[in-house]
Structure 1
Amino acid sequence: MREKPAELIFICFMLLHGFGAALNCSSPTRKALYQALERELLPEKLVPPTKSFRDPLEITIAMTVVGIIGVDEKDQTLTTVIWQVQQWQIEGLSWDKQECGTERVSVPREMLWVPDVQIAEFMDEDKSPNTPYVYLYNTGHVYDDKPVRVVSSCRLVIYIFPFDIQNCTLSFGSYLHFSTDIKMIPGTTAAEILEESAQVIQTNGEWELIGISVTPSTLTLENGGYSEVKYNIIIRRRAVLYVVNLLIPSCFLITVDLFSFLLPPQSVDRSSFKMTLILGYTVFLLIMNDLLPVTGETTPLINVFFSLSLALMVTSLLETVFITNVQFSSSQYSAVPNWLSILVLRYLAVVVCIPPKKKSNRVTVNLNPPTREPKINASINSISSLSASDLQRVSSDETPLKPPLSPSDPKAHPDSALDELKKLSRDLVAIRLQIDDHFKGTNASQEWQMIGIVIDRLLFGLYIAFIIVSFITIICIWMWHNVNATRPK
């Protein structure tokens, strides 16, 4: 009766600790080895091949990037094809390669306990071809290599599109078993993975692989921790396609609109030319809209560039309409407000390198020869003090002119000469007031035209500054993009 408990204890020990002895092959043939493996592996394929529950099973994980299919900015996903390599040890399993005839053999997965290693960032089903076999070595070492099509979530940063560099993570770990049951270990270094990936990568599309990093970690939760191995895949977008199709045509259209300022402001063709440019730029943006990334998290800098370019084109068109209106209708405007004249003609004119207009030094000299008759001077002064409307009314009165009297005429009297002088003075003052009103209107028109010229020169300077800043920004970002791409990871 005492032997039965001992036999039970031995059987339980064998189940928990794996295989205690090497396989016995009847002959060094494949059939004999498979029969021996079937006898030993099939009963034990439901439990992890470890000696004790206290000892975690160490799984070595490695990967090689075969292809980068694409990046979806809207869904924030990365699609890649990798070779996933898993390796673990079946404790207690071994055979003599001379007796069984081989060092390794491929066996179906159904014969072995396979760990439930998954990628935490998986967003879609694996559509890669199925590989039903794994390699089993005579030392109990299992080598599992299979292709995986990974659609993983990735936090994409496209602010500097198309000069962006993305860093996406693939976290390999057990879906169910805690770190006390399964421990994940990286199989190869990051430099070896990058070198091998560069040799076998198949795609040569929009993205290129520039770096890989490996970090073992533990995901800690309330129920326990999960052992993981994180691979950071660093990819760079090839920006030449977008520079040629987006940035260069946009810069060409902006430059053409810049040179349109050289057209005469009073020309009607200038406004129609700018309207044609705006229409062409809008059609260009509609055609190239499919090349721009779509995401709701951040707005790419290139979209801001296009918006500012279109805004400058519209502003230049409105400014052209204003200047054309000033050129043809400024004579009907009232005088320029004092604050506007000071702001534009005194300050902004200096900014755009236009010298301020000097005031006229014209002096009106009133030649009043002295006379012996103070009454005549008083009459002339009283006439000069009349308003313009009174003078126009007076000058428009039809007064019959008397024929001049000869000195020998007895009717000749000094009062007749005074009347003639009064009429002449009224006519001269009315003419002077009309000329002054004409020159006042001319001065206001000139001020409005000068304001239009200053605004036109100011917008021209803003255009030049925008183009220079845009070019410098694009060149700096592109250089930074290339420097980061060549920097070792």
Structure 2
Amino acid sequence: MRDVKSAELIFISFTLLHGFVATLNCTSPTPEALFDAFERELFPKVLLPPVKSFSKSVNITIGITVVGVVGVDEKSQILTTLIWQVLEWDIEGLRWAEEECGTSRVSVPREKLWVPDVHIAEFMEEDKSPKTPYVYLLNTGRVFDDKPIRVISSCRLVIYTFPFDIQNCTLTFGSYLHFASDVRMIQGTTAEEILEESLDVMETNGEWELAGIGIAPHALALEDGSYSEIKYHIILKRRPLLYVVNLLIPSCFLITVDLFSFLLPPQSVDRSSFKMTLILGYTVFLLIMNDLLPVTGDTTPLINVFFSVSLALMVASLLETVFITNIQFSSSQYSAVPKWLSVLVLRYLALVVCLPPKKKSNRVTVFLNPSHGEPAMRSSIGEISAIYPKSAFSDKPPEKLPAAPQSPPDPVLDELRKLSKDLLSIRLQMDKHLKGSSTSEEWQMIGIVIDRLLFGLYIIFIVVSFITIIAIWIWNNSYKA
């Protein structure tokens, strides 16, 4: 018994150290003879790594082909792609002659061979792609493992330039358990070849297009050892035409209509109602298109900022219209304009909006002030006194003159006295009106300056937004990986 156990140990040690047999012997060039040889020499060693010594690592050559980009979930930060994964490795010592066995390549059940535990580190869900039960085995000992994978992977999406954004997602292939000393990942085809083949076989033509592929070998170092990995950078570019047509163009139309509403007279009530209707329509538009906008927690896309600023400008223009309308109808009841406001708006902002202050007129205007009107009134009264007795204009009772008889009251004098009182009242009202009209004119000028200032801000915002959108769009179209 001891001799039998010693022989078994020697056989196992020999197998571990020297691996598989050098050549398979087939009794005839038929599949049955070849698989009989596999059953004798290859399949019983399914648990052993295909190397002659533990000091050697299994070199796994990997290559991928992107078949389709199913979708990108910005909210969950998930990328869904379909790829073909091709793994290649050698079984050391395995050989057979094509003439003797009848073929140079045969498909073998996957569970009959040692298969590396290569996985994708960014996997978020279980792979639900169809399973392939076979692998190819060449007469040189080379194994080809080609299978489709539906990859649902995590990807850090940056949507600041939405809908002209370009995403760079990573797929990291490596062994789940074995260290680099046991399993080493080797790059197969180049990035240019992968991109060219992927574009040829691409099945999807949706929102995203494949813009480039990058490859970078990587080693994950831990305390117990390091893992050999291959990182594939999948560069995706969004097709922005759908969002330009459905989001940007309607928004620009509404803003342009609101811009031209400044041509309506400010004192018209139609201007404020027109702007209010535009704000209501723009709000309904944003609510309808809310599902098309991305939702993230880190950054706010520029398009969201654009919509917010547009809505803010519409609301500001409505409030400014209400202010100007109030000035047009109630400015005569306002107090005098504060000095600081007059200097800020009429002296500085008026120059900014190309409304220089009006030059003072050279005309001389005569105001009927009581102080200036007294001499004229007195001269008029003196002329009247020369014709009529002085006692007619006095409130005191006339002195009795012994010689002159008392004359009856003249109705003309009464009418003149009433007329002088009316003229005095009219003069006071005119003074008050002229003083209020100058204050009202100053308030109206402030309203005109503010209206022109907001109109200029509208033009600047539209021009800057248009240039920014065109620049980002050109950059998106000219991007090359």
TM-score of the pair, normalised by structure 2: 0.88
> For residues 444 and 55 of structure 1, do their structure 2 counterparts lie closer, same or farther at Cα, with a shift above 3 Å needed?
same
> For residues 294 and 4 of structure 1, do their structure 2 counterparts lie closer, same or farther at Cα, with a shift above 3 Å needed?
closer
CA displacement, residues 344-397 of structure 1 (integer Å, 9 cap, x when unaligned): 1111111111121334553548999xxxxxxx97x979xxxxxxxxxxxxxxxx
Aligned 1:3-402 pairs, distance under 5 A: 8-359=9-360, 361=362, 362=364, 364=366
Could you say which residue in structure 2 is the equivalent of 1:394?
none
| CA distance, structure 2, for counterparts of residue 367 and residue 12 of structure 1 | 128
Secondary structure of 2:80 counterpart: strand
One-letter amino acid of the structure 2 residue matched with residue 330 of structure 1: S
CA displacement, residues 298-320 of structure 1 (integer Å, 9 cap, x when unaligned): 10000000000000001111111
One-letter amino acid of the structure 1 residue matched with residue 353 of structure 2: V
For 2:437, which of 426, 436, 442 is the aligned residue? 442
Could you say which residue in structure 1 is the equivalent of 2:387?
none
| CA distance, structure 2, for counterparts of residue 3 and residue 119 of structure 1 | 46
> For residues 111 and 343 of structure 1, do their structure 2 counterparts lie closer, same or farther at Cα, with a shift above 3 Å needed?
same
| CA distance, structure 2, for counterparts of residue 366 and residue 21 of structure 1 | 128
- Tell me the CA shift for residue 15 of structure 1: 2.8
- Tell me the CA shift for residue 14 of structure 1: 1.9
| CA distance, structure 1, for counterparts of residue 394 and residue 98 of structure 2 | 143
Whether 1:479 aligns to 2:474 is yes
Whether 1:458 aligns to 2:453 is yes
Unaligned runs of 5+ in 1: 369-375, 382-397, 413-419
One-letter amino acid of the structure 2 residue matched with residue 200 of structure 1: V
CA contact (8 A) 1:380 1:422 kept: no
CA contact (8 A) 1:123 1:152 kept: yes
One-letter amino acid of the structure 2 residue matched with residue 181 of structure 1: D
TM-score of the pair, normalised by structure 1: 0.86
CA contact (8 A) 2:367 2:431 kept: no
For 1:433, which of 428, 436, 445 is the aligned residue? 428
> For residues 409 and 157 of structure 1, do their structure 2 counterparts lie closer, same or farther at Cα, with a shift above 3 Å needed?
farther
CA contact (8 A) 2:369 2:431 kept: no
> For residues 199 and 411 of structure 1, do their structure 2 counterparts lie closer, same or farther at Cα, with a shift above 3 Å needed?
same
- Tell me the CA shift for residue 122 of structure 1: 0.6
Runs of 4+ in 1 over 3 A off after TM superposition: 1-11, 358-368, 398-403, 408-412, 420-433
One-letter amino acid of the structure 1 residue matched with residue 55 of structure 2: R
CA contact (8 A) 1:17 1:49 kept: no
> For residues 367 and 436 of structure 1, do their structure 2 counterparts lie closer, same or farther at Cα, with a shift above 3 Å needed?
closer
- Tell me the CA shift for residue 17 of structure 1: 2.6
Q: What is the number of residues matched between the two proteins?
A: 452
> For residues 150 and 421 of structure 1, do their structure 2 counterparts lie closer, same or farther at Cα, with a shift above 3 Å needed?
same
| CA distance, structure 1, for counterparts of residue 77 and residue 83 of structure 2 | 19
CA contact (8 A) 2:369 2:428 kept: no
Secondary structure of 2:43 counterpart: helix
| CA distance, structure 2, for counterparts of residue 128 and residue 409 of structure 1 | 135
Unaligned runs of 5+ in 2: 380-392, 408-414
| CA distance, structure 2, for counterparts of residue 67 and residue 146 of structure 1 | 15
CA displacement, residues 384-428 of structure 1 (integer Å, 9 cap, x when unaligned): xxxxxxxxxxxxxx986999xxxx96889xxxxxxx999998876
| CA distance, structure 1, for counterparts of residue 397 and residue 263 of structure 2 | 63
> For residues 42 and 401 of structure 1, do their structure 2 counterparts lie closer, same or farther at Cα, with a shift above 3 Å needed?
farther
Moved more, 9-18 or 263-272: 9-18
Secondary structure of 1:276 counterpart: helix
> For residues 2 and 424 of structure 1, do their structure 2 counterparts lie closer, same or farther at Cα, with a shift above 3 Å needed?
closer
